Amino acid sequence: MKTPSGKTFLPLLLTLGLNSATMAEIVNFNFENVPLPSGQSALFTLPYNEDGLRLSSNSPGAVIYGPSSNRYTGVKAKAPGSFATGEDVIFNLFSPTGRAFAVRSVTLHPAVSGVARNLTFTRWLNGSGLSQTHNTGTALSGNTVTFNSNFDRATNLEWRHVRIGGVYQSFQISSIVVEFDGVLSTPTEIVTNEAAGTVDVAISLDHPRTTDTELIREIAAITATAGSDFTVPGAANFAPITIPAGQTTARVTIPLINDTTIEGIETLRVTFTANTLGTAFAGGASFASCDVKIASDDGVTTFPNWMAAHGLTSTAAAAEADPNQDGISNIESWLFRLNPAGPNPAAWLSRRASFNGGSADPALSLFIPAPLPSDVRIIFSQSTTLQTWSEQTRRTGFGTGSLWTGSGASRITESNNLTGRTLRLRASATTSPRERIFLKNQYEYVAPSGGS
């Protein structure tokens, strides 16, 4: 947030998030929406669309039998059409938008009770066809059949109404269940800091699948060096990774090596390829890659250098900017040694100002890692209305001769250790008894010349 002067300050907020569950994208193409005016049977014209799928044929029509038909009892079933000339009637089920899917099951019925038929299905993918034959069974109630792994990815499901000895081998279908591909994606770039210890690279499906999604991950050094900048997990550049059925994300955790060498941004690349059918990558690609950029805080002593170490320039490097959109400005990231361009470990975020002391002794507590910066101004204020704020104390950097000033300077307590300094900024006692009080810290960049 900003003050009317445009400066950045830290508000203390409580945020509630709602997490909605996602489901596998399964479609039951079941003919239930086809109207039956007579309640027994009706002619309808192909193609027929339902829930993102299209049934088409080289025959223009087919018959729907309803629950009250003496030919078929139960849910509606489709009987194929025929040609007087005797050629095969070819049916195709596909996505009009080109989405691939897995064929989970088909419920088959004989044309009349007691007469079983064999029906061959072919799945097409990239011009390649694989077939599997199933039997309708003899009962009108139907036979639900499932498919092998060859049918875990298809762009077209085909079957035929064939003529043998001058007689079409009739059958009925009431339900075709398919599961649309899960689309895989990973961030194109993650900026981390070597002091973070590890970096997680996630590969995610846009919706969960009913089967495991098996992938291969590859870790490749670009400008980073394995063994000195990062450690390859399991010492294997290539390794399997699985998104379990019902879940949407798997992560590769890469250990980072926190050295003391002053160096620029180092990059490694994580690439995911599919090791299983039923998956697709965003944009129709055959893989997904994420570049991990490792920033170093070694030798960094100023805010501009901190921005440069994370590859931030121009407006993205401004004090009030928030390139990674985590609600923390760049200048605050510098003060607490947070990552301004990527994710932050929870331990780092806990350095930020937090409310403590309750109503008896309210205060903001924060931890500033060493070396303490000399180019950040901290302004501590309080309010009882949120409309008018009263500045209590301020301090410009932690260089030699820098002190807290203002009426609240005596209420600041500080304690040092080898890793940094803990500050406690206490509210004014004159506000007691308190019904409510609001506290805030404002952080400003102070250039070496003294301007802000």
The model's pLDDT over 146-181, given as tens digits with 9 standing for 90+, comes to 999 899 989 999 999 999 989 999 999 999 999 999
* Confidence label for 34 from pLDDT (cuts 50, 70 and 90): confident
What's the chain's Rg over C-alpha atoms? Answer: 33
Most confident of 47-61, 189-203, 434-448: 189-203
pLDDT digits (tens, 9 = 90+) for 79-112: 998 898 899 999 999 999 999 999 999 999 999 8
Q: Which residue has the tokens 């691939």?
A: 100
Which phi and psi angles does 191 have, rounded to 5°?
-105, 125
Look at residues 324, 347, 259 and name the one whose alpha carbon lies nearest to residue 296. Answer: 259
Kindly tell me if the per-residue pLDDT of 125 is higher than 70. Answer: yes
CATH class of the 26-180 domain in this structure: mainly beta
Which pLDDT score, from 0 to 100, does residue 433 have?
A: 64
Average pLDDT, rounded, for the chain: 89
Kindly tell me if the per-residue pLDDT of 22 is higher than 70. Answer: no
Which pLDDT score, from 0 to 100, does residue 204 have?
A: 96
Kindly tell me if the per-residue pLDDT of 70 is higher than 80. Answer: no
Which pLDDT score, from 0 to 100, does residue 432 have?
A: 61
pLDDT digits (tens, 9 = 90+) for 283-307: 888 999 999 999 998 999 999 999 9
Which pLDDT score, from 0 to 100, does residue 429 have?
A: 73
**For domain 183-299, which CATH number applies: 3.90.1150.10, 2.60.40.2030, 3.40.50.300, 2.60.40.420?**
2.60.40.2030
What is d(CA 352, CA 328) in angstroms, rounded to the nearest whole number?
A: 10
% of the chain surpassing 70 pLDDT: 92
What is d(CA 130, CA 330) in angstroms, rounded to the nearest whole number?
A: 56
Which pLDDT score, from 0 to 100, does residue 360 have?
A: 83
CATH architecture for the domain at 8-13+316-445: Sandwich (2.60)
Kindly tell me if the per-residue pLDDT of 435 is higher than 80. Answer: no
pLDDT digits (tens, 9 = 90+) for 185-242: 999 999 999 999 999 999 999 989 888 999 999 999 999 999 999 999 999 999 999 9
* Span(s) in the chain for CATH 2.60.40.2030: 183-299
Global pTM?
0.78
Which pLDDT score, from 0 to 100, does residue 211 have?
A: 87
Which pLDDT score, from 0 to 100, does residue 33 have?
A: 79
pLDDT digits (tens, 9 = 90+) for 310-319: 999 999 999 9
Which pLDDT score, from 0 to 100, does residue 10 have?
A: 35
Please list, in sequence order, all residues whose beta carbon lies within 8 angstroms of the beta carbon of residue 53, skipping any fewer than 6 positions away: 27, 29, 93, 94, 95, 96, 101, 178
Which pLDDT score, from 0 to 100, does residue 19 have?
A: 30
Q: Compare 122 and 24 and report the one with higher pLDDT.
A: 122
Kindly tell me if the per-residue pLDDT of 424 is higher than 80. Answer: yes
* Span(s) in the chain for CATH 2.60.120: 26-180
What is d(CA 405, CA 290) in angstroms, rounded to the nearest whole number?
A: 47
Kindly tell me if the per-residue pLDDT of 11 is higher than 90. Answer: no
Q: Average of pLDDT values for 256-263?
A: 91
